[in-house]
Amino acid sequence: MQDMLEADYRAAKREVVVRALINAGVAAEVGEIVAVPPETRRRAVFKIVRHGDAVEVGFHGLKSHAVVDMQECRVLVPALVALVPRLREAMSAILAPGEHAEAHVTLCDNGLDVAFRASRKYQPALTRLLASLGAVRVLWNGSLVLGAAQPIVRFGKAGVSLPSEAFLQPSVEGEEILRKQVRAAVGKAKAVADLFCGVGTFALTLAEKARVHGVERDVPALEALAAAARATSGLKPVTIERRDLFKVPLAAVELAKFGAVVLDPPRAGAEAQARELARSKVPRIAYVSCDAQSFARDARILVDGGYRISTVVPVDQFLWSSHIELVAAFERP
């Protein structure tokens, strides 16, 4: 896709959203693609393998388990690209020929967070080698190895101590595009339910003007959100609830106290929750999705339940791939 003409590329990605809505029978305007710049993706999972004396660091080839050694990247932030040669050097002294590992890397506001998964058990002798990566935190198979500081990401006024391998929007730029759309969709609601809230990407900024109830099944994410809310002055009350919204969605009667709901589910979408929202009287919904097909299915449920859908905004956070993010607002007439 990097070799396509820009206009053709954008049209193809927009068509993914248009086609999904048509197939689901949803009549909605689809806006033009809003794209993040190149070199802005802040997280990656690097695959690592040693062949003889050579260590390869990169990603799996298409439909393959072979690692394609990475020499450059137009998608990742420069700090992640610059880490690759340091990973090669460190892992050449750690891995034996034929051994594999992977490194989950996130660029936080105060530096790199690196979590390794490997068959090799950690040994104290590895500490010096891993310190050469210059990360603020390094974990090995879930255990803390180095921690000069807690990795921090900021959402508005709040700074969140990021749990290891926690979900974040791929780029700061894309996150802000989505946040702006969500704020507009929520409007002046005084009480907001943020469902699939994660570490508080939307909840903590919405709490600057509204009471927010965050619901999520990931305990470390919820605890990080709650701690950030407590430590940030000037926020409205933020409450949290651990709940698997796929199995136990908030019922229509529970939703009655909210003036707006934010949805940001995984690729599978939020079908069960959409059905409860369709039965509710919630005035406004902001729906963020990374899968056009599951979004279209849920949008049909909401529209059949009486909601009016606004212009769907496609956000290209997954540059030169078939994936597309999107955000849309729903209102009760």
pLDDT tens-digit readout, 142-181? 999 998 789 999 999 999 999 998 999 999 999 999 999 9
Whole-number Å distance between alpha carbons of 160 and 225:
7
- Shared-domain flag, residues 19 and 96: no
> Same domain, yes or no, for 194 and 290?
yes
Same domain, yes or no: 22 and 87: no
Same domain, 283 and 192: yes
Q: How far apart are CA 247 and CA 12, in angstroms?
A: 35
What is the per-residue pLDDT for 44? 96
Structure confidence at residue 91 (pLDDT): 92
Q: Indicate if the pLDDT at residue 189 is higher than 80.
A: yes
Task: Say what the pLDDT of residue 128 is.
Answer: 86
Q: Which residues of 26-64 are buried (b: 16+ CB within 10 A; e: fewer)?
A: bebebbebbbbeebbbbbbebbbbbeeeebbbbeeeeee
Q: Does residue 123 carry a pLDDT above 90?
A: no
**In this predicted structure, which of 54-58, 83-87, 119-123, 169-173 has the lowest mean pLDDT?**
119-123
pLDDT at 248: 98
Do 137 and 104 contact (CB within 8 A), yes or no? no
> Is the per-residue pLDDT at 72 higher than 90?
yes
Asked if the model's pLDDT at residue 196 lies above 90, the reply is yes
Residue 80 has pLDDT above 80, yes or no: yes
User: In this structure, is residue 160 part of a structural domain?
Assistant: no
User: What's the average model confidence in pLDDT over 81-92?
Assistant: 94
**Statement to judge: residues 192 and 277 lie in one domain:** yes
Q: To the nearest whole number, what is the mean pLDDT of the chain?
A: 96
Same domain, 192 and 273: yes
* Paired tokens of 179: 């946040």
pLDDT value of residue 124: 83
Active site residue 290: yes
pLDDT of residue 125: 79
- Which member of 73, 108, 197, 290 is catalytic? 290
pLDDT in tens, 247-256: 999 999 999 9
Residue 20: per-residue pLDDT: 98
**CATH assignment of the domain containing 68:** 2.40.50.1070
Q: What is the mean pLDDT of residues 178-187?
A: 97
Residue that terminates a domain, selected from 122, 153, 184: 153
| 106 and 215 co-located in one domain | no
Q: What is the pLDDT of residue 17?
A: 98
Domain residues for the domain of 119 are 43-153
Average pLDDT in the 244-267 region? 98
Residue at 159 is within a domain: no
Q: Please state, for a pLDDT cut of 90, what percent of the chain lies above it.
A: 92
Is there a contact between 328 and 8 (Cβ–Cβ < 8 Å)?
Answer: no
Give the pLDDT of residue 122. 85
1-5: average pLDDT = 93
Q: Which pLDDT score, from 0 to 100, does residue 112 have? A: 96
pLDDT at 328 over 90: yes
Query: What pLDDT does 120 receive?
Result: 86
Q: Which two tokens stand for residue 117?
A: 């998964």
